[in-house]
Amino acid sequence: MSVFGSRQKWSDERVEQVLGNLLRVGVVAAAVVVAAGGFLHLARHGGAPADHHTFHGEPQDLQSPWGILAAALALRSGGVIQLGLLLLIATPVARVVFSVFAFALQRDFTYVVLTLAVLGVLLYSLFVGHA
């Protein structure tokens, strides 16, 4: 038996249930990570005076996924918060990826092609569209 089980087990209702759980877990995980980063930031910098006179953009190392991951693993609060935001962005992308497999298991190849097109547009907008 495959990881996804037999074709009969993947009814529309089952797919919707798994997709709902995927979205729920993704949003909760992102919220927990962002909150942990916020608490970490407050623990380290909570007593510092706020400077709102000058805009300070994100440091260069927090502008790429690999830099964010490295900063989060080093327990830098900005990196942890950014990692939570990446998880939040990845949640609907994971939904689309799962949908491709679910439609393939249901042998609904029209929807497989359409969902792959949606995935392509999402990935293009995430990685190329900002240029």
Read off the pLDDT of residues 6-38 as tens digits, 9 standing for 90 and up: 545 778 888 889 999 999 999 999 999 999 999
The reply to whether 53 falls in a domain is no
The reply to whether 1 falls in a domain is no
The reported pLDDT for the residue numbered 1 is 42
Is residue 130 predicted with pLDDT exceeding 70?
A: no
> Which residues constitute the domain of residue 110?
11-45+59-127
The reply to whether 40 falls in a domain is yes
> 106 and 10 in contact (C-beta within 8 Å)?
yes
Which residue in 98, 92, 86 sits closest to 121, CA to CA?
92
Number of domains in the chain: 1
The reply to whether 4 falls in a domain is no
Is residue 3 predicted with pLDDT exceeding 70?
A: no
The reply to whether 69 falls in a domain is yes
> 104 and 112 in contact (C-beta within 8 Å)?
yes
The reported pLDDT for the residue numbered 7 is 47
The reply to whether 118 falls in a domain is yes
For the chain, the distance separating the N- and C-terminal CA atoms, rounded to the nearest angstrom, is 44
Collapse the DSSP code of 45 into the 3-class scheme (helix H, G, I; strand E, B; otherwise coil) and give the result: helix
Task: Name the strand (E) or helix (H) holding 36.
Answer: helix 12-45
pLDDT band of 53, cuts 50, 70, 90: confident
The reply to whether 108 falls in a domain is yes
Read off the pLDDT of residues 77-129 as tens digits, 9 standing for 90 and up: 999 999 999 999 999 999 999 999 999 988 889 999 999 999 999 888 887 76
d(CA 60, CA 32): 25
d(CA 77, CA 103): 39
The reply to whether 75 falls in a domain is yes
Write the DSSP symbol of residue 51.
-
